[in-house]
């Protein structure tokens, strides 16, 4: 019986084995054994049992030296064993590198898993009006499930005064682990020359009551110089002030506050470039002599020389930063008469009754003997300004009273020299039903 050719592992055609003698067909034990070894070697190879396949192939080569399959099988198994050794070596090297990386990671893991506090507890330096953010963080967001307490203390460890409570911006519900501190502009007294000290204590409490976080900072707040602020002046600074030469003195006044919260301000009053008063007084009386005007002039001539400049320089005790300056231009005149109220349109009695929702307009006609001269108007209702012109409009909304409400209306008209005339009225606001028809 002839043996069918088979394809080898390398793709070559396997050389057929010599047929046994005809008288041994079906009875040749050697051929049967050869076929059995070939089949066994193939099963072991495809089962990836390469060393056993090599042993079987070597037995096959001894039994049938002319059989090419044995050599090809050995060659294929050794190639696969070599590939396996390479894969194992690469895998071992990868495991080794992974182990080294894991060791390095574990060496830094305690620091990675530790809680973080920013800035680090201890001394912190800050300037007035500067803002410092304090916060807690932790890996995997563990800090977000805690309840936080923030306390601002003075240098002695006592709670700060109530006026400082707003300087510590307590965290909201979104980020209770963060808090911002902004020391007030006047926390440090510039005159003292030493910083202010505040202590901030914070802690994070778990639901079990255990304190997970705790930190304390000592905050040294340095002075940030602030210029004084001019609140108001009388007469109003920046305008032209008319004065009668030889008449009663005119008082100039400056109301100011120290930007650093102090009370010791200095005022330097000057006429032109000449200092006429220095010290802590915010007022100065100016009394120009009667002969300050040249003979034959009234001071109201259009060709009159430039007005006199009066300035007040306000500084804090240290004189820094640069002082704030209030300035007036003063024009001297020979004489002045106060303005006169001539009439009102419409004619307005001393007692005015007006219904809710009703609108009433009052216009004042004023005569000034010293025309042409600028006049200033001030209408006030119960002390609150309502108009700065020659007219004012009265209108009271519905619901302002359930019956009648009395108020005082006042008009003051002043000329450039400060002479004034006044008129007052009593206003009675009467309750009135609101109209249902739409207003035009």
pLDDT reported for residue 1: 31
3-state secondary structure the chain: CCCCCCECCCCCECCCCCCCCHHHCCCCHHHHHHHHHHHHHHHHHHCCCHHHHHHHHHHHHHHCCCCHHHHHHHHHHHHHHHHHHHHHHHHHHHHHHHHHHHHHHHHHHHHHHCCEEECCCEEEEEECCCCEEEEEECHHHHHHHCEEEEEEEECCCCECCHHHHHHEECCCCCCCCEEEECCCCCCCCCCCCCCEEEEEEEEEECCCCCEEEEEEEEEEEECCCCCCEEEEEECCCCCEEEEECCCCCEEEEEEEECCCCCCCEEEEEEECCEEEEEECCCEEEECCCHHHCCCCCCCCCCCCCCCEEEEEEEEECCCCCCCEEEEEEEEEECCCCCCEEEEEECCCCCEEEEECCCEEEEEEEEECCCCCCCEEEEEEECCEEEECCCEEEEECCCCCCCCEEEEEEEEEEEECCCCEEEEEEEEEEECCCCCCCCCC
pLDDT reported for residue 42: 86
Examine the domain organization and report whether 318 and 251 are in the same domain. Answer: yes
Examine the domain organization and report whether 175 and 136 are in the same domain. Answer: yes
Residues of the chain with pLDDT under 50: 1-20, 22-25, 27, 108-113
Examine the domain organization and report whether 379 and 300 are in the same domain. Answer: no
Examine the domain organization and report whether 267 and 316 are in the same domain. Answer: yes
pLDDT reported for residue 322: 74
pLDDT reported for residue 173: 66
* Structural domain boundaries enclosing 11: 1-113
Last residue within a domain, chosen from 78, 113, 148: 113
Residue 439 domain-assigned? no
Domain count, the chain: 4
pLDDT reported for residue 241: 86
Q: What is the CATH number of the domain that holds 250?
A: 2.60.40.10
Examine the domain organization and report whether 108 and 8 are in the same domain. Answer: yes
pLDDT reported for residue 317: 66
Examine the domain organization and report whether 12 and 92 are in the same domain. Answer: yes
Examine the domain organization and report whether 126 and 91 are in the same domain. Answer: no
pLDDT reported for residue 3: 35
Residue 324 domain-assigned? yes
Examine the domain organization and report whether 140 and 163 are in the same domain. Answer: yes
pLDDT tens by residue, 135-187:
988 887 778 888 899 999 999 999 999 888 889 987 776 788 899 999 987 78
Residue 440 domain-assigned? no
pLDDT reported for residue 338: 92
Residue 437 domain-assigned? no
Last residue within a domain, chosen from 113, 146, 180: 113
Examine the domain organization and report whether 242 and 344 are in the same domain. Answer: no
């Amino acid at each position: 019986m002839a043996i069918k050719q088979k394809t080898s592992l390398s793709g070559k055609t396997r050389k057929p084995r010599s047929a046994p003698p005809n008288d041994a067909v079906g009875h040749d034990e050697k051929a049967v054994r050869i076929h059995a070894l070939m089949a066994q070697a193939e099963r072991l190879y495809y089962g990836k049992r390469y060393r056993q396949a090599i042993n079987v192939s070597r037995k096959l080569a001894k039994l049938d030296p002319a059989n090419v399959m044995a050599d090809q099988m050995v060659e294929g198994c050794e190639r696969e064993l070599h590939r396996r050794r390479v894969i194992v070596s690469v895998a071992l090297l990868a495991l080794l590198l992974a182990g080294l990386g894991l060791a390095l990671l574990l060496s830094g893991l305690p620091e990675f898993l530790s809680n973080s506090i920013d800035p680090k507890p201890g001394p912190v330096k800050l300037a007035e009006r500067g803002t410092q953010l304090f916060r807690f963080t932790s890996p995997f967001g563990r800090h977000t499930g805690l309840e936080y307490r923030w306390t601002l203390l003075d240098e002695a460890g006592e709670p700060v005064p109530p006026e400082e409570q707003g300087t510590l911006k307590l965290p909201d519900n979104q980020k209770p682990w963060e808090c911002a501190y902004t020391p007030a502009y006047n926390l440090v007294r510039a005159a003292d020359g030493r910083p202010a000290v505040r202590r901030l204590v914070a802690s994070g409490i778990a639901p079990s009551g255990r304190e997970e976080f705790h930190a304390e900072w000592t905050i040294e707040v340095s002075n940030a110089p602030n210029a004084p602020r001019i609140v108001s002046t009388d007469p109003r600074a920046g305008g032209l002030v008319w004065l009668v030469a030889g008449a009663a003195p005119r008082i100039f006044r400056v109301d100011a506050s120290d930007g650093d919260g102090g009370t010791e301000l200095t005022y330097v009053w000057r006429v032109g470039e000449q200092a006429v008063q220095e010290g802590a007084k915010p007022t100065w009386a100016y009394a120009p002599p009667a002969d300050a005007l040249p003979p034959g002039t009234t001071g109201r001539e259009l060709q009159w020389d430039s007005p006199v400049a009066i300035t007040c320089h306000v500084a804090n005790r240290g004189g820094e930063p640069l002082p704030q300056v209030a300035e007036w231009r003063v024009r001297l005149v020979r004489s002045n008469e106060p303005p006169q109220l001539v009439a009102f349109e419409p004619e307005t009695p001393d007692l005015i009754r007006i219904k809710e929702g009703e609108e009433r307009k009052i216009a004042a006609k004023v005569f000034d003997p010293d025309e042409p001269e600028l006049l200033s108007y001030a209408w006030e209702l119960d002390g609150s300004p309502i108009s700065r012109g020659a007219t004012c409009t009265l209108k009271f909304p519905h619901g302002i009273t359930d019956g009648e409400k009395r108020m005082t209306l006042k008009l003051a008209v002043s000329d450039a020299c400060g002479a004034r005339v006044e008129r007052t009225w009593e206003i009675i606001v009467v309750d009135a039903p609101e109209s249902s028809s739409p207003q035009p």
